[in-house]
Amino acid sequence: MSEKNFITILGVGNILLKDEGFGVHFARWFSERYQLPKDVQAIDGGTRGYALLDIICSCEHLIVIDVIKTKDTPGSIYRFDKEEMRIHMPAPTSAHEVEFFDVLFQADLLDESPDVIFLCIVPKDYGDMDLKMNSIMQEKFSTMESLLLKELAHYKIVPKRIEHA
């Protein structure tokens, strides 16, 4: 196997379902604002399911940006490690659905699973078809940015802010 990336920032979610796409929108937004070292990457993981396995297995540390559907104030943000996140995962609804944890389980089976941190936000609107996120979610980008920069600093990574003209 080739050399692993040190850190992968993975935004996941479905941008067609309003706030469900927060992780993808955030990863894109962050990538436009920061220049990352060559062994750190930010990726739009969308809803690619098992197609994410190579991405997950090719890094030492994985920071996942996603929504968490729980009864809390929309825009509330949580930080979990992989074991803490297992507690909050809903039960599978179909053998045909591929949840993100299914992909992490496959990485574990291959003995290629990275250390994983989840930065999750409670959505306001999800389920209805709409490309536009709720304004509450967009306002939380700067809070998520601060939390992500803190996570990266833990690994002594300080991305360079890109100055826009």
The structure tokens listed for 10 are 């993975």
- pLDDT score at 94: 46
Neighbouring CB atoms inside 10 A of 14's CB total 17
- Check the CA dihedral 80-83-85-87 and report its sign: negative
CA 68 – CA 76 distance, rounded (Å): 9
Structural domains of the chain ordered from first start: 5-161 (3.40.50.1450)
pLDDT of residue 96: 45
Angle formed at CA 74 by CA 71 and CA 76, multiple of 5 degrees: 90
The pLDDT, as a whole number, for residue 126 is: 80
Please tell me the predicted confidence (pLDDT) of residue 21. 94
How confident is the model at residue 124, as a pLDDT?
92
Q: Measure the CA–CA gap between 62 and 113, rounded to whole angstroms.
A: 9
Angstrom distance (rounded) from CA 26 to CA 34: 12
d(CA 29, CA 144): 11
Mean pLDDT by 10 residues, the chain (165 residues): 84 93 96 95 90 93 94 94 73 57 85 93 88 93 98 96 78
CA distance 121 to 1: 34
23 close to 12: Cβ distance less than 8 angstroms: yes
> Which pLDDT belongs to residue 127?
77
> Which parts of the chain are beta strand (E)?
5-12, 34-35, 40-46, 59-67, 77-81, 115-121, 160-161
